Structure 1
Amino acid sequence: MPSPLADPVKLPCGLVLPNRLSKAAMAELMAKTNHPTDNLLDAYEQWAQGGWGSILTGNIQIDVDHLGSPYDTAMHAEYTGDTALVSQWKKYADTCQKHGTPAIAQLCHPGRQSFRVAGRRGIFAQTLAPSEVPVRLGDGLLQRFVAALAWTAPREMTRADIERVIRQFVDCARLMADAGFSGIELHGAHGYLIDQFLNSKTNLRTDEYGGPPEKRARFVLEIISEIRKVVPAKFCVGIKLNSADHSSATFEDTMTQIKLLADAGIDFMEISGGTYEDPKMMGWPESSPPATKSERTAAREAFFLEFSKEVRRRLPGLVLMLTGGFRTRAGAESAIHDNACDLIGIGRPAAIDARFPQLLLDESVPDEKAQLPLNKVSPPFFTRFLPLNIVGGGAESTFYANQIHRLAKGIATYVPAL
């Protein structure tokens, strides 16, 4: 019997994904000039041949002054239809889609999480955020010192700042459409700027962009509305959203915001989770309090399965992608059979095996072999005195970025050692 993972998925905009397996966004750390490089394209050439249903790019920052890492691709200036710029990004889109796989560009602004050394604003210039809430790694002296060393204190965005950043998101989306990408995904998770506006912990504003959940969602809703005005009707507009930031007290606020995003006409929602302060998207911390997961969920692969199922229960028509923790055909099929999601996002296994979908979809391969188990990445010994969460998450991200570099060079990749 054919796997349900092989089923095509049609998005509301009309874009058809040939199967349910999506290469999720990962940090490639390959754009030293913050433009798409040949090495970056070489990596995507490998994924383009992998049989994916869709390919999501790593972060494309909308402002070169505010980067998540020094080697992110980014917009360098206002987009005015420059043909040379379109040609540069068209190479990226064409490489991703050379073998018919739709490519979706992930657009991002890191907000307060932009490292001092990332971006062209200078190492002492303040970051942007909805409110002046700094990144915290803990209450200890060392944790506070590390945070102050990594990030400057954010300044609260003015109305002019908000309007400029919205325009940058729209400009970047228009460039991606002109370059030939099949769609964009707004990065509203992992503690980046859109997530900072949505979250009551980081958004303390009292104007029209803060307060109740509806007002905290206004920033991203305006971005979506303005993007829709400048891209083709069949251009996909999705969003990645955090599931791990909410508590029981704010759960309904999160669901209210998801309903608003669905009503805004997004084509899909990717469920992920975590921030730099608490990198659950990288599997850190290594264990969660027992109360946060049922035994049944703990036995499954997906990190955020229960949250996704609750979204599906409330909004059955919303196309959901679930990302984080999938390593086996059986685990991915279970999520589809349980109606937890429509699309399976796969990150770290894709950095090891660019053709992982071909293994999962090959009916001649038994379930016990249709998998790619991965160990935790061990942080370097000299970091043992630093905050564990950020060290662990950083070690994971760096290890898999290195594997992507090996993919690009045609060198054999390897899994983390025990």
Structure 2
Amino acid sequence: MDSTLTQPINLKCGLVLKNRLVKAAMAECMADNGGLPSVKHNNVYREWGNGGWGMIITGTTPSTTISTLANTYSIGNVQVDSMYLGDARDITVDPGRETELLEKWSIWAKASTANGTPTIMQINHPGRQSPLGAGSRGFCAQNIAPSAVPLDLGSGLVARFASSCIFGTPREMTPQDIERVMKRFVDCSRLALKAGFKGVEIHAAHGYLLAQFLSSKANRRTDKYGGLAEGRARIVVEIIEAIRRALPADFCVGIKVNSADHQSQEALSDFVVQLKMIVEAGVDFVEISGGSYEDPKMMQASTQMQKEKPSGTNAREAFFLEFASAIRHEFPAVPLMVTGGFRTRDGMARAIENNACDMVGLGRPAVLEPSLPRSIILNNEVSDEMAHVMTNPVPMPWFIKMAGVKSAGSGAETVS
């Protein structure tokens, strides 16, 4: 077995990963009715904690469904504000229940770190992707976004209904709203540290609130939080800087960013400017992913790959690897994690050997085989030919395809 994947990596904050395999974020949507971790959370994270992973990232991805053998977990989020949830079963932060929250989070953190595996919490705000009624804001209250730009889910009848009646037109955030959101990210990070987590990953991908600010399509503000690329990145930069001021230097801060919004040269150029600001603000690693409710490339990878049939291990193994390679060229010193499409030991090792990334994120494979690193990928007794995990596509119902909803492919086959 190649030793590339077993090499440790040291992050700037001092956190050491014993290998290059990371359990990527998947919001398992198993929270109790109060938005707190449940016994199910503790059980599944204990399995991952004993699985030999270099690092575990707690969950969130776009709203979808992961099916495994006899179980189905609906995807949700770890949200910084209980007023705005992506799903009614999201884990969330309620300042009025801090004592209870810390007790539950501490059990959760202990379960995942019992075997010495560092675990960081992915934190998020859905923005305009918070459905009506999801959160404590009231059923008819609007969600919020950088600008009053509704989701474009497609031209079909169901898509138009979902856009207008389920998500609605968001309310443009006031300066006070922005201050509240930034404070919530800091407070959530502080509580994560108290509970025993080693850091946080800020979710700025998949069309959620911070991705909305970064996007010129969703962010049409004319104040300091909008306009050119630098202005659109300001809220993300200020959140990172605020976390750095409030927490110890050895607290890990990562960020998850999107590739789907940066397909044109102009968009990519803007993103390079934004990522430079984000890196300088003090992140320890960058995770590359992609897809959103409006442009769910992450959920449509299976069909795309079958049509294009790309050659080369990198293209076969990771849907976003080409984009990540471009980012690596611009930021060679930043630890880079790529989540998407990895299924074989050989493909994972080649991605790192080719300097396309430093860490490999695995989502669905981690659900199918919680001990994937220990039992298969890093197991010397398993040959390279057998060191892989299979994920079968979930057929999409014909009526969903006909509905005209852009994100109808959610969950049919992700590339995580």
TM, length-normalised to structure 1? 0.90
Query: Against the structure 1 CA distance between its residues 251 and 299, is the aligned structure 2 distance closer, same or farther, given a 3 Å change threshold?
Result: closer
- Are the counterparts in 1 of residues 12 and 284 from structure 2 also a CA contact under 8 Å? yes
Work out whether 1:89 is the aligned partner of 2:89. no
- Are the counterparts in 1 of residues 84 and 134 from structure 2 also a CA contact under 8 Å? yes
The answer for the alignment partner of 2:66 in structure 1 is none
1:249 counterpart SS class? helix
Query: Against the structure 1 CA distance between its residues 289 and 39, is the aligned structure 2 distance closer, same or farther, given a 3 Å change threshold?
Result: closer
Give me the whole-angstrom Cα distance separating, in 1, the residues matched to 2:341 and 2:109. 27
Give 1:314 shift. Answer: 1.4
> 1:105 is matched with which residue: 92, 112, 121?
121
The answer for the alignment partner of 1:241 in structure 2 is 257
Give me the whole-angstrom Cα distance separating, in 1, the residues matched to 2:305 and 2:237. 32
The answer for the alignment partner of 2:71 in structure 1 is none
Work out whether 1:254 is the aligned partner of 2:255. no
- Are the counterparts in 1 of residues 393 and 412 from structure 2 also a CA contact under 8 Å? no
Give me the whole-angstrom Cα distance separating, in 2, the residues matched to 1:120 and 1:388. 27
Give 1:385 shift. Answer: 2.7
Query: Against the structure 1 CA distance between its residues 83 and 150, is the aligned structure 2 distance closer, same or farther, given a 3 Å change threshold?
Result: closer
The answer for the alignment partner of 2:382 in structure 1 is 365
Give per-residue Cα distances to partners, 1:70-97, cap 9 Å, x unaligned.
1110001268xx4443222111111110
Give me the whole-angstrom Cα distance separating, in 2, the residues matched to 1:212 and 1:354. 43
The answer for the alignment partner of 2:72 in structure 1 is none
The answer for the alignment partner of 1:416 in structure 2 is none
Unaligned 5+ segments in structure 2 are 60-76
- Are the counterparts in 2 of residues 61 and 109 from structure 1 also a CA contact under 8 Å? yes
The answer for the alignment partner of 2:188 in structure 1 is 172
Give me the whole-angstrom Cα distance separating, in 2, the residues matched to 1:32 and 1:278. 30
Give me the whole-angstrom Cα distance separating, in 1, the residues matched to 2:327 and 2:102. 37
The answer for the alignment partner of 1:286 in structure 2 is 303
Moved more, 70-79 or 334-343: 70-79
Moved more, 195-204 or 135-144: 135-144
- Are the counterparts in 2 of residues 35 and 74 from structure 1 also a CA contact under 8 Å? yes
2:218 counterpart SS class? coil
Residue type of the partner of 1:108? N
Moved more, 278-287 or 316-325: 278-287
Give me the whole-angstrom Cα distance separating, in 2, the residues matched to 1:387 and 1:74. 32
Give me the whole-angstrom Cα distance separating, in 1, the residues matched to 2:313 and 2:127. 33
Give me the whole-angstrom Cα distance separating, in 2, the residues matched to 1:191 and 1:78. 29
> 1:269 is matched with which residue: 286, 298, 312?
286
- Are the counterparts in 2 of residues 308 and 341 from structure 1 also a CA contact under 8 Å? yes
Give 1:145 shift. Answer: 1.8
Unaligned 5+ segments in structure 1 are 401-418
Give me the whole-angstrom Cα distance separating, in 2, the residues matched to 1:297 and 1:215. 38
Residue type of the partner of 1:60? V
The answer for the alignment partner of 1:409 in structure 2 is none
The answer for the alignment partner of 2:5 in structure 1 is 5
- Are the counterparts in 2 of residues 278 and 285 from structure 1 also a CA contact under 8 Å? no
Aligned positions of 1:56-75 closer than 5 A: 56-58=57-59, 59-75=77-93
Residue type of the partner of 2:126? P
> 2:353 is matched with which residue: 337, 343, 359?
337
Give me the whole-angstrom Cα distance separating, in 1, the residues matched to 2:89 and 2:205. 20
1:144 counterpart SS class? helix
Residue type of the partner of 1:271? I
Number of matched pairs = 395
Query: Against the structure 1 CA distance between its residues 78 and 216, is the aligned structure 2 distance closer, same or farther, given a 3 Å change threshold?
Result: farther
1:184 counterpart SS class? strand
Give 1:32 shift. Answer: 3.1
Runs of at least 4 residues of structure 1 off by over 6 A? 288-291
2:317 counterpart SS class? coil
The answer for the alignment partner of 1:414 in structure 2 is none
1:300 counterpart SS class? helix
Aligned positions of 1:75-154 closer than 5 A: 75-77=93-95, 82-154=98-170
Query: Against the structure 1 CA distance between its residues 258 and 396, is the aligned structure 2 distance closer, same or farther, given a 3 Å change threshold?
Result: same
Moved more, 245-254 or 171-180: 245-254
Give me the whole-angstrom Cα distance separating, in 1, the residues matched to 2:406 and 2:313. 22
Give 1:46 shift. Answer: 0.9
- Are the counterparts in 2 of residues 2 and 363 from structure 1 also a CA contact under 8 Å? no
Give me the whole-angstrom Cα distance separating, in 2, the residues matched to 1:116 and 1:394. 22
The answer for the alignment partner of 1:39 in structure 2 is 40
Give per-residue Cα distances to partners, 1:161-196, cap 9 Å, x unaligned.
000010001000000011110000000000000000
Query: Against the structure 1 CA distance between its residues 213 and 78, is the aligned structure 2 distance closer, same or farther, given a 3 Å change threshold?
Result: farther
Give me the whole-angstrom Cα distance separating, in 2, the residues matched to 1:270 and 1:263. 16
1:229 counterpart SS class? helix
Query: Against the structure 1 CA distance between its residues 109 and 78, is the aligned structure 2 distance closer, same or farther, given a 3 Å change threshold?
Result: farther
Aligned positions of 1:221-240 closer than 5 A: 221-240=237-256
TM, length-normalised to structure 2? 0.90
The answer for the alignment partner of 2:50 in structure 1 is 49
Give 1:101 shift. Answer: 0.3
Give me the whole-angstrom Cα distance separating, in 1, the residues matched to 2:43 and 2:363. 18
Residue type of the partner of 1:170? V
Query: Against the structure 1 CA distance between its residues 370 and 378, is the aligned structure 2 distance closer, same or farther, given a 3 Å change threshold?
Result: same
Work out whether 1:323 is the aligned partner of 2:324. no
Give me the whole-angstrom Cα distance separating, in 1, the residues matched to 2:314 and 2:402. 29
- Are the counterparts in 2 of residues 61 and 73 from structure 1 also a CA contact under 8 Å? yes
Identity, % of aligned pairs?
A: 50
The answer for the alignment partner of 2:17 in structure 1 is 17
Give 1:384 shift. Answer: 3.8
Give me the whole-angstrom Cα distance separating, in 1, the residues matched to 2:106 and 2:189. 13
Give 1:322 shift. Answer: 0.3
Give me the whole-angstrom Cα distance separating, in 1, the residues matched to 2:200 and 2:288. 16
- Are the counterparts in 2 of residues 284 and 392 from structure 1 also a CA contact under 8 Å? no
